[in-house]
Structure 1
Amino acid sequence: MILKFIILCALFLLLEFYSYQAFRTLVKLRWVLISYQIISFLLLAFILYSFSQVDRSVGQTKQFMFTTGLMLLIYVPKIVMTLVLFGEDIFRIGASIMNYFIYNAPRKEMMPDRRKFVSQIALGLAAIPFLSLIYGIFEGKYNFKVIKQTVFFPDLPDAFDGFRITQISDVHSGSFDNPEKINYAIDLINEQESDLILFTGDIVNTHAKEMHPWLETFNRIKNYKYGKFSVLGNHDYGEYVTWPSQQQKEENFKEIKELYGKIGFELLLNEHRYIQKGEDKIALVGVENWGVNFKKAGDLNKASQNLAQDDFKILMSHDPSHWDAEIKDHPKNFHLTFAGHTHGMQFGIEIPGYFKWSLAQYIYKQWAGLYETAGRYVYVNRGFGFHAYPGRVGIMPEITVIELKKGNNVA
């Protein structure tokens, strides 16, 4: 514990040292530099104090989210500046070695001065994440996108050719602070001409009461001809706080499961339902949360009991790590899996059809969008809400619409 604290302090000192170097190279007014140092110290003290006051029995609060946003706003740009100036220092050290051994330069001329234009580049690059994070906090977190995808299956029952499914995931209602924006998102959901809607978990951050102010809003989601179904996410189990008693934890979990019904969704707990259309049917399977690094309550075998291998099956499983671990090679053959969980880290770069990057890809093999293995597919929703960082940059909140088509191609 002490070693971690020492390493953390050393990291903060390194970031502060290099960011100060960038300002000092460009700004010569002593009072401005002193003011910068004082403000940096006060902000760091506030962040450390705020995190030290986190109550494990309460969980994420508005204060925690504000502090997380402030920390990222301050230190992500400083990380950028540090990388640039550290790179320059490697060059300066290399130049000083050459000056000493090759050119025999006097000691005072050995180390080249820090170059002004490099500091300007560092500050310019740092401004990109700084402005992006501000945008993400004030605009990005509610910049809802409807993403449409067509998926082809050669064995899709004929009656389901053209069947449309809307998916939402990771609502995290305890983070919301703007009813107008959430109502706008509900309107977007209702505008989609879908046959079925699926909600793949995380209705709250921790406590059932987080959803109470939003029940009326989410009850505005219209009824769908073939139903409204949901599964649980890892946050729905209330495992990220310290509970006064096991009974209170269990009561909260019971209330959270009831929340889904209160907004009109049928919660599937390791079970399945048949969706009948004309003479054809498909199986909708819903498992509890199962994640490689999170709660493993999902039971695929129980959920698909009595289903035949050649039944057309759609699966809801919150965590996409379940896909590689158990789903894609399961003998029951799950044709299409709907997942969420990753949020795309709420930060990344995405140019539809050309480029997609986020830190999430270094943790999850499937982290946003559609993936395929041997004719089986998983779609990872980028999330409806937000958690921890109160914003989104590049990876926007998503409402998914999947159209099923009979055939052999993916469009």
Structure 2
Amino acid sequence: MARKFKLRKRVYVLFAGIIALILVINVIYVAAFSKTAYTFSQENVASTSIPKDFDGFKVAMISDVHLKTEADLTRLTQILKELSTKDIDLALFGGDLYYSKIFSSEKTIQALKSVEAPYGKFAVLGDEDESQGKEVTALLNDGGFEVLNNEERPIYYKDKEIDLYGLSTTPQTSLLHSANYSIVLTHYPDSFTTIAGHTSLQLSGHSGGGYLTFPLIGSLIKVKHAKTYTHGTYTKKKSTLLISNGVAPSPLYPYKFGAKNEVQIITFTYGH
């Protein structure tokens, strides 16, 4: 019995040690790398409402850049340079370009210009853009992104059409009347509460993916306008919401776990 007890104790100690090591490794990763690490996440959106000719059409969703320093801008330039190798068709920006004051405008414009998307580059403003909205809009336009403010644009591909709606942080849902497959680009995920049922797909950022997100538990940080919809994909009233974790965390919540910084590459698939 004594030998069995000692063996069991050793197993428990070993198990506890492994768990502690995993926790330490994750804490080190979060502290050292989660601010700057990023990925190009692959998302697939399938629907019989998507025109057959749009099967394989690729959309890049870029959001929540939060530029604050020259190092941030250097990082963004590298990310967008890498994006240029992904062979995308449409580029969308979901808001929050700068965290505070605009700086190095020309460098930012050149970084945005490096994004190649033959079927259009469009943007909406986020809450952090609004205090200098005219300046950010001009900068995005100079970078090749048309800023939409409660406006619609048709996207033509192989003689077929889908509709893109760019809605502000106070979205005008009365604009949503398309009989085609439609995309709503808007900064706040929680606007899905009223937009669901009026569009095929909503793309949003703002939430940071919940910053600290754990299996079974969910997101620990839920910012205003992302309380209900925080991380991942949701469906409601035959509409889909896809939330971006963002390219960078907000300086208010600089560390992330389970919500890695990302540029989403969304591929349309005709069918279920």
Q: When the two structures are superposed, what TM-score results if normalisation uses the length of structure 2?
A: 0.82
- Aligned counterparts, 1:86-165, within 5 A: 128=23, 132=26, 134-165=28-59
Given that residues 270 and 286 in structure 1 are in contact (C-alpha distance below 8 angstroms), is that contact kept between their aligned partners in structure 2? yes
The one of 295, 301, 318 equivalent to 2:187 is 318
The one of 229, 236, 254 equivalent to 2:122 is 229
Q: CA deviation at 1:315?
A: 0.7
Q: CA deviation at 1:156?
A: 1.6
The one of 59, 83, 88 equivalent to 1:194 is 88
The one of 298, 312, 332 equivalent to 2:171 is 298
- Aligned counterparts, 1:52-71, within 5 A: none
The one-letter amino acid paired with 2:172 is: D
Task: Report the Cα distance in structure 1 between the residues aligned to 2:139 and 2:21, rounded to whole angstroms.
Answer: 43
Q: CA deviation at 1:335?
A: 0.3
Q: CA deviation at 1:281?
A: 0.7
Q: CA deviation at 1:286?
A: 0.4
Task: Report the Cα distance in structure 1 between the residues aligned to 2:56 and 2:189, rounded to whole angstroms.
Answer: 25
Match of 2:112 in 1: 218
The one of 138, 147, 165 equivalent to 1:267 is 147
Q: CA deviation at 1:319?
A: 0.5
Match of 1:357 in 2: 218
Task: Report the Cα distance in structure 2 between the residues aligned to 1:213 and 1:342, rounded to whole angstroms.
Answer: 27
Given that residues 133 and 391 in structure 1 are in contact (C-alpha distance below 8 angstroms), is that contact kept between their aligned partners in structure 2? no
Secondary structure of the structure 2 residue equivalent to 1:141: coil
Task: Report the Cα distance in structure 1 between the residues aligned to 2:270 and 2:118, rounded to whole angstroms.
Answer: 21
Given that residues 63 and 96 in structure 2 are in contact (C-alpha distance below 8 angstroms), is that contact kept between their aligned partners in structure 1? yes
Q: When the two structures are superposed, what TM-score results if normalisation uses the length of structure 1?
A: 0.56
Q: Structure 1 or 2: larger helix share?
A: 1
Structure 1 spans left out of the alignment, 5+ residues:
1-120, 239-251, 290-296
- Structure 1 residues 275 and 143: alpha-carbon distance in aligned structure 2, compared to 1, 3 A threshold: same
Task: Report the Cα distance in structure 1 between the residues aligned to 2:153 and 2:214, rounded to whole angstroms.
Answer: 38
Secondary structure of the structure 1 residue equivalent to 2:128: helix
Pick which of 186-195 and 268-277 moved more. Answer: 186-195
Match of 2:79 in 1: 185
- Structure 1 residues 159 and 211: alpha-carbon distance in aligned structure 2, compared to 1, 3 A threshold: same
Given that residues 174 and 211 in structure 1 are in contact (C-alpha distance below 8 angstroms), is that contact kept between their aligned partners in structure 2? no
Is 2:138 the counterpart of 1:258? yes
Given that residues 211 and 220 in structure 2 are in contact (C-alpha distance below 8 angstroms), is that contact kept between their aligned partners in structure 1? no
Larger Rg: 1
Task: Report the Cα distance in structure 2 between the residues aligned to 1:358 and 1:285, rounded to whole angstroms.
Answer: 28
* Superposed CA offset, 1:323-371 (max 9, x none): 01x1013xxx300110000002322336xxxx68321469633222221
Q: CA deviation at 1:229?
A: 0.5
Secondary structure of the structure 1 residue equivalent to 2:256: coil
Given that residues 176 and 385 in structure 1 are in contact (C-alpha distance below 8 angstroms), is that contact kept between their aligned partners in structure 2? no
Match of 2:203 in 1: 338
Task: Report the Cα distance in structure 2 between the residues aligned to 1:157 and 1:356, rounded to whole angstroms.
Answer: 38
Task: Report the Cα distance in structure 2 between the residues aligned to 1:394 and 1:184, rounded to whole angstroms.
Answer: 23
Task: Report the Cα distance in structure 2 between the residues aligned to 1:210 and 1:133, rounded to whole angstroms.
Answer: 34
Task: Report the Cα distance in structure 2 between the residues aligned to 1:270 and 1:283, rounded to whole angstroms.
Answer: 13
Structure 2 spans left out of the alignment, 5+ residues:
1-15
Task: Report the Cα distance in structure 1 between the residues aligned to 2:256 and 2:105, rounded to whole angstroms.
Answer: 21
Q: CA deviation at 1:162?
A: 1.8
- Structure 1 residues 155 and 217: alpha-carbon distance in aligned structure 2, compared to 1, 3 A threshold: closer
Is 2:200 the counterpart of 1:327? no
Report runs of 4+ in structure 1 exceeding 4 Å deviation: 124-127, 131-134, 210-213
